[in-house]
Amino acid sequence: MSFRRAPFFAFILAIAVALSAAFANDKPSIPPQSRDNPLKELISGYHFGALETRAMQDDEFDNPGFPAVQQGQKLWSIVEGEQQKSCATCHADASQAMRGAGATFPKFSPTLNRVISLEQRINACREEKMAAAPWPVESPDLIAMTAYVRNQSRGLAVNVAIDGPSRPTFELGRKEFEMKIGQLNMACADCHNTRYGQKLRGETLSQGHSNGFPAYSLSNKSMQSLHSRLRQCNALVRAEPRAVGSDEYVALELYLGWRGEGLPVETPGVRE
């Protein structure tokens, strides 16, 4: 072989290496579980983050969301309310009792006769079983306990029920996702169904999944509930945000759960 050909081979090699690098860098996706899903591939928000953000999420010591999980763990066995109970009194070990539970919310509550979020389930427990005051909406304790319970499902697939008594709520959530709102007249679907991966200013649009929530927000420098994130999104299109815990947001959360069904729970996710 003549060395004169070396540049040619180097060139071919460069293309091969670049191609393999490109494929190695492809965002892992899973197929949607329902044919009705508007997405043809499901990609967790994790994969839209920078390498450092992903590394941060993966490392329990670096993940800035873990202090909230640890706070939740502490709260788990604190006795409160007239019944002199803690979560641990009834549920004992969260790692066993709560494994998988967080992946199924929002969920229909037969006692409350409506679909409720995990936050609302936790507060219902406090009121009904512990006779303790519910934690205020968006309070650090409520977010911490939600993060702790969801964290027990880390790695398990999101799996919500949308049929039977949950159906009307699911349909409301779908409507909420597809409705154009605000002065900018945009729907969640406009950006997150077909335009993910494209750039909105310096940010890459994700598919808008809920599997990392409550998540640590690097821009807010704090833990963020899913509903708080939805409010931020609504404000971006100059729409009046809904209240945290509103029926519409719980419905949207159910729809998002279904839309991302099969993705692993990542709580606490780290998002930019």
Partner 1 sequence: MTRNRPLTLLLSLAMLSATASVATAQLVCKPKTNGYFKLVMAAPAAAIKLDGLETPLTTALGDPVRGVQIAAAADKGNCLTCHKIPQLGDEPDHGDLGPTLDGAGLRYTEAQLRQMIVNPSAFFPDTIMPSYHNATGLSRVAAPFDGKTILTAQEVEDVVAFLKTLR
CB contact set of 87 (below 8 Å; sequence gap of 6+): 75, 76, 77, 94, 125, 145
Least CB distance to partner 1 at residue 178 (A): 12
Neighbours of 64 (CB within 10 A): 16
d(CA 134, CA 102): 19
Counting contacts by CB under 8 A, is residue 18 touching partner 1?
A: yes
Q: Scan residues 175-214 and list those touching partner 1 (CB under 8 A).
A: 179-186, 190-191, 194-202, 204-205
Figure out which of the listed residues 1, 4, 82, 110 binds partner 1, where binding follows CB under 8 A: 4
Figure out which of the listed residues 17, 90, 131, 243 binds partner 1, where binding follows CB under 8 A: 17
Helices 167-178 and 247-259 cross at an angle (nearest 10°) of 90
Nearest to 196 by CA among 48, 26, 28: 48
Least CB distance to partner 1 at residue 39 (A): 11
d(CA 49, CA 46): 5
Stretch that binds partner 1, among 106-114, 129-137, 231-239, 258-266 (CB under 8 A): 231-239
Least CB distance to partner 1 at residue 208 (A): 13
Least CB distance to partner 1 at residue 105 (A): 26
To 10 degrees, the CA torsion angle through 129, 131, 132, 138? 60
Among residues 6 and 79, whose Cβ is nearest to partner 1? 6
Rg over CA atoms, the chain:
21
Among residues 163 and 240, whose Cβ is nearest to partner 1? 240
Figure out which of the listed residues 10, 55, 90, 133 binds partner 1, where binding follows CB under 8 A: 10
Figure out which of the listed residues 1, 25, 35, 164 binds partner 1, where binding follows CB under 8 A: 25
Q: For residue 19, with 0-12 CB atoms within 10 Å meaning exposed, 13-18 middle and 19 or more buried, which class applies?
A: exposed
Are the C-beta atoms of residues 265 and 158 closer than 8 Å to each other?
A: yes
Q: Which of the residues 125, 188, 191, 233 is marked catalytic? A: 233
Active-site residue, 233 included? yes
Q: Scan residues 51-110 and list those touching partner 1 (CB under 8 A).
A: 51
CB contact set of 163 (below 8 Å; sequence gap of 6+): none
The token pair that represents 108 in the structure block: 């229909």
Stretch that binds partner 1, among 83-91, 132-140, 157-165, 233-241 (CB under 8 A): 233-241
Q: Which residues bind partner 1 (CB under 8 A)?
A: 2-4, 6-7, 10-11, 13-14, 17-18, 21-22, 24-27, 43, 48, 51, 179-186, 190-191, 194-202, 204-205, 234-235, 238-241
